[in-house]
Amino acid sequence: MESESYTRRVRLLIALIVASVGVLVAWIPYLAYNLPVDYRTQGWVLAWVGYDVAMLAVLAVCAWALWRHRQVAIPAALVGATMLVIDAWFDMATARSGSDFITAVATAVFAELPLAAVLFYLARRFIRATMANAQRLAGVEVTVVSLIRAPLAWGEGLNSPRPRARPGEPPRP
């Protein structure tokens, strides 16, 4: 059956993610102990500029998708917000002391982190609205719960709500 194959693939994906978590649990202490305190690299400019170009592209897609009311705004907002938080972290972690550090903190506090919070909020709000619309279209009672408790709707009917019959209608398959 197709759904059994799909379920197997999902379980394999979950196992791969859990294995990755296990590898990271071992890798992080190894890095903390073995990385040099000071390190010089030839790719410094490429790393920073490349990251900012990628962030620019994601935020541009997010702005376009919001402007055009497209669902791709949700993953773009999540990726953009995550990139902003990571950028703030690395700006502060790699800044020299003094005015460089103050600038990194100010940029994080007054620009990157607030924009990230707005993007996370918008993504959450749009996901919940999408869930409510899907339930409405399926003819089921709209019960948007927290995203932590909301089941994934994937596969051939797995975890997806069955449409309820309206009064006077026969049950739906």
Residue 155 lies in a domain: no
Residue 161 lies in a domain: no
How many C-alpha atoms does 131 have within 13 Å on its Cβ side? 19
115 and 56 fall within a common domain: yes
Count of residues in the chain? 173
29 and 58 fall within a common domain: no
CA distance 134 to 159: 13
CA distance 93 to 155: 42
23 and 82 fall within a common domain: no
Average pLDDT over residues 33-43: 88
Confidence at residue 167, expressed as pLDDT on a 0 to 100 scale: 53
Work out the pLDDT band at 161, boundaries 50, 70, 90: very low
91 and 138 fall within a common domain: yes
Structural domain for 12, as ranges: 1-35
Average pLDDT over residues 22-41: 91
Q: Write out pLDDT tens, residues 68-96.
A: 999 999 999 999 999 999 999 999 999 98
Q: Write out pLDDT tens, residues 120-135.
A: 999 999 999 998 888 8
Confidence at residue 158, expressed as pLDDT on a 0 to 100 scale: 43
27 and 78 fall within a common domain: no
Distances (CA, A) of 90 to 13, 42, 84, 100: 30, 18, 10, 12
The domain total for the chain is: 2
Q: Which two tokens stand for residue 22?
A: 């296990």
